Structure 1
Amino acid sequence: MSAPVRGRSTRVRPASNRRQKSAEYRARRRVIVRRRLVALLTLLSVVGLTYCVFFTPLLGVHQVDVRGSVVLTDDEVRDAAAIEPGSPLVRLDLIGIHDRVAALPRVAAVEVERQLPGTVRLLITERVPVGSVKLPDGFHLVDSTGKDYAVLPTAAPGVPELVLAAPSSADPATRAVVGVVNELPEKLRPDVVQVSATSGADVKVTLTGNRVVKWGSADETPRKAAVLMVMLTRPGLAFDVSAPDLPTVS
């Protein structure tokens, strides 16, 4: 008998194992492709949303809401704000809008707010007159800061006449007069007809009944007013509270 031939044994993988590994590989590939596709779609969505928000009217200005105006009309405020319809809300220059509206003489303060999806709200505080100054071109309204901000053809009702050469927040006489008027007690205000000054130290207050009060400077106005209220219980037409420790009446 011939001896058996010894050869290298070869292990053959079952077909089922190959199919299983091939299926696992395809499954991993599908997961990877799916993840990449989701990442790509997410990136495209972010880019598309950013473009729509920043560069299209999708979230643009569709309404300018004005609140707080009294004498000014809403359209006057909107014209000053100069906000283009459809302008992307997130790209608005809020400081520029604020400054343009604040430049209106009657505006004392303004707040600018964005409100999604497409509204800009302007909150206006108008100046309130503490008196009016009669000049050749009309009656100039002066507010609590001393600013001359409007001209009327007739005297402003409900406020005293201020006698000043040139009303201005930089003028010492204006500052003194406004400082006195701002601190007068409510009980005294209805009796005030006129407040005048030529400097920061010679304020004079004229009351109803031709009564005149020498006030001096705006310093210690609350104390001077308290002294005057007591003195007004006495008969007289001329009162001096410029030195509140030594008041006189005649």
Structure 2
Amino acid sequence: MNVRQAPAERRPAAGGPGRPRRPGRPGGTPRPGTPRAPRRRWTNVWPLVAVVALVVVGGGAWATVMYSSLLDARSVSVRGTNVLTPQQIKDAARVPVGKPLARVDLDAVRRRVAAIPRVAKVTVERDWPHTVKIRVTERQVAAVMPESGRFAEIDTTGVRFGTVDAAPERVPVIKADPATVDQQTLRGVVEVIGALPEAVAPRVRDITARTRDDIVITLDDGVLVMWGGAGESPRKAQVLVALMKHKAKVYDVSVPEAPATRNAPL
């Protein structure tokens, strides 16, 4: 006897029709179409907090530097003096001691020190936390010129910057009218002095500057060198060395292409 067996019941596929979907687990992936709960994005806030903190800290530091007495000017350091004294530099600088160092006007200090005639160059800077540093370079004497019973000191640029009672040894004396001679003429004379041959420079007794183009050198034995203007001084020095191989009372190198000698002074 044949017994027909009923077909086995088919299970619906997971998630398919006829089977309810399992509810989502807490914290699991939400069902499609279900709105997400809004989250606070603190990661966007922290950069702003950091910027605000930096502004507050920076503002406090700036206020401390600019206005606090914790970083005030308390001392002045001076370097480079020779004839001048550090106190003379400090007196001229007039650094406002007690004022915040950051607010000290360095340019004003520099101008006041540079106004000293003997100062050729000056630098001023802050040395934290409490010092203003001043370094000067004094003018060097290249020649002197008689003036009112004393001698005016002249530097390499022709600037008159001081006076002395007597002419220093081995420093050339310029004979010129102090009331009318200009800086350009004095500069030309100093250029001539710098161009003189080594064998001649120590023998210079004085230099007469009638005009900027009429410079006459007198050597220690009375010999005259007619130099002319300061132009072509290196070339004139070479010509003078060649001329002085022959003894003469006057050597004229004012026109180096046509030098001349004479045995009688002018």
TM-score with structure 1 length normalisation? 0.78
Tell me which protein shows more helix as a share of its residues.
1
Alignment partner of 1:222 out of 228, 231, 234: 234
Count of aligned pairs: 222
Alignment partner of 2:217 out of 205, 210, 213: 205
Contact 2:197 2:241 survives alignment (8 Å): no
Note closer, same or farther for the CA distance 1:112–1:187 as it changes in structure 2 (3 Å cut): farther
Which deviates more from structure 2 when the two are superposed, residues 50-59 or residues 40-49? 40-49
Which deviates more from structure 2 when the two are superposed, residues 116-125 or residues 35-44? 35-44
Deviation of 1:44 (Å): 5.0
Contact 1:204 1:213 survives alignment (8 Å): yes
Q: What amino acid sits opposite 2:166 in the alignment?
A: T
Which residue is 1:190 aligned to?
202
Which residue is 1:113 aligned to?
125
Which residue is 1:165 aligned to?
177
Note closer, same or farther for the CA distance 1:84–1:221 as it changes in structure 2 (3 Å cut): same
Deviation readout 1:80-125 (Å, 9 max, x if unpaired): 1110222222212111111100000000111112222222221211
Deviation of 1:218 (Å): 0.8
Which deviates more from structure 2 when the two are superposed, residues 113-122 or residues 194-203? 113-122
Which deviates more from structure 2 when the two are superposed, residues 57-66 or residues 216-225? 57-66
Aligned to 1:209, the other structure's residue is in SS state coil
Do structure 1's residue 51 and structure 2's residue 102 form an aligned pair? no
Alignment partner of 1:156 out of 147, 154, 168: 168
Which residue is 2:83 aligned to?
71
Deviation of 1:132 (Å): 0.6
Deviation of 1:239 (Å): 0.9
Aligned to 2:251, the other structure's residue is in SS state strand
Which residue is 2:94 aligned to?
82
Q: What amino acid sits opposite 1:212 in the alignment?
A: L
Q: Which runs of 5+ in 2 are unaligned?
A: 1-39, 41-45
Which residue is 1:122 aligned to?
134
Which residue is 2:113 aligned to?
101
- How many percent of aligned residue pairs carry the same amino acid? 34
Cα distance in 2 between the residues matched to 1:138 and 1:190: 23
Deviation of 1:41 (Å): 6.9
TM-score with structure 2 length normalisation? 0.74
Alignment partner of 1:234 out of 236, 246, 265: 246
Note closer, same or farther for the CA distance 1:231–1:167 as it changes in structure 2 (3 Å cut): farther
Aligned to 1:180, the other structure's residue is in SS state helix
Cα distance in 2 between the residues matched to 1:165 and 1:133: 9
Deviation of 1:214 (Å): 0.6
Deviation of 1:195 (Å): 1.0
Alignment partner of 2:256 out of 214, 224, 244: 244
Contact 1:173 1:198 survives alignment (8 Å): no
Deviation of 1:35 (Å): 10
Cα distance in 2 between the residues matched to 1:149 and 1:235: 38
Contact 1:147 1:169 survives alignment (8 Å): no
Q: Which runs of 5+ in 1 are unaligned?
A: 1-27, 29-33
Which residue is 1:144 aligned to?
156
Cα distance in 2 between the residues matched to 1:149 and 1:36: 61
Cα distance in 1 between the residues matched to 2:220 and 2:77: 44
Note closer, same or farther for the CA distance 1:46–1:184 as it changes in structure 2 (3 Å cut): same
Which residue is 2:5 aligned to?
none
Cα distance in 2 between the residues matched to 1:157 and 1:37: 74
Contact 1:131 1:143 survives alignment (8 Å): yes
Aligned to 1:129, the other structure's residue is in SS state coil
Note closer, same or farther for the CA distance 1:40–1:219 as it changes in structure 2 (3 Å cut): closer
